[in-house]
Amino acid sequence: MTTVQTNAPSQTLLDNVNGSQKSNTSSVNDIQDRFMTLLVTQMKNQDPLNPMDNAQVTSQMAQLSTVTGIDKLNDTMAALISSVQVGQSYQATSMIGHDVLVSGSNVSTDGAGGYFGVELPVGADKLSIAIKDSAGNTLRNVELGAQSAGTLPLTWDGKTNDGSVAASGDYKIEVTATIGSQAVEVSPLSYAKVLSVSNINGGIKLNLSNNSSVNTTDVKEIF
């Protein structure tokens, strides 16, 4: 898969960061002004017989330095996170037009069959697949032998158990897997095309041809 990389942040990012910096700089200045006002007032009204010592003043100044330092660190981290998210958005666009396998139980056919998949976390001695219509009737059963753990892409030829061609449309996949007589975990996967990429609340979403949106981490395989 070709990765799209860029070193130039968007103008929106620059505007947001610059605006945030101005706002936070003003906030830091306000804190410093209030601190200095309180410190000067404290020194003016101190007991002449028991004045503040240098250690006290140094300690208070150190506290102010710590607070402003943390504030600046937060600004830097926020800008860095925003920059990383923009980079992820650009990289995710390279997936547009590609087909993917994601969690789902749908398979479609236009008369010639369709693609789907299964995910086996621990492998299995036997894998059974049933393709059903919207009423829950089983059109096709497929029995597969031993399978290794991982993602398994599969193809349905679009035919029913009696050899006739299934009507065009969407169907449901049901999968079961066993090791010996013990059932093991298995999940169906749907096949779809990536149509576009969205950046929603700081998260990258892939918008698919089956009218769903998924995280990039939800993609099990890319074609």
- Phi then psi for 76, rounded to 5 degrees? -65, -45
CA distance 119 to 173: 13
Place of tokens 């990429």: 197
Query: Sorting pLDDT into bands at 50, 70 and 90, what band is 101?
Result: very high
Q: What is the pLDDT of residue 81?
A: 57
Instruction: Give me the CATH number covering residue 107.
Output: 2.60.40.4070
**Residue bearing tokens 């008369």:** 111
Structural domain range at position 137: 99-222
At 58, give phi and psi (nearest 5°): -60, -40
Instruction: Answer with the one of 77, 95, 113 that is the final residue of a domain.
Output: 95
Tell which of 95, 126, 152 closes a domain.
95
Beta bridge partners of 154: 116
pLDDT in tens, 17-42: 455 444 555 555 666 667 667 666 76
pLDDT value of residue 67: 59
Q: What predicted TM-score, i.e. pTM, was given to this entire model?
A: 0.60
* Per-residue pLDDT, 198: 85
Token pair, residue 22, equals 């101005």
Per-residue pLDDT, 171: 96
pLDDT of the residue at 177:
96
- Could you give the number of structural domains in the chain? 2
Domain membership flag for residue 56: yes
pLDDT of residue 203: 75
Q: What is the rounded distance in angstroms from the CA atom of residue 208 to the CA atom of residue 143?
A: 29
Domain presence at residue 3: no
Q: Residue 6 domain-assigned?
A: no
Considering the domain architecture, whether residues 138 and 158 belong to the same structural domain is answered as yes
**Domain final residue pick, 49, 65, 95:** 95
Same domain, 80 and 145: no
Per-residue model confidence (pLDDT) at position 10 = 47
**One domain for residues 207 and 182:** yes
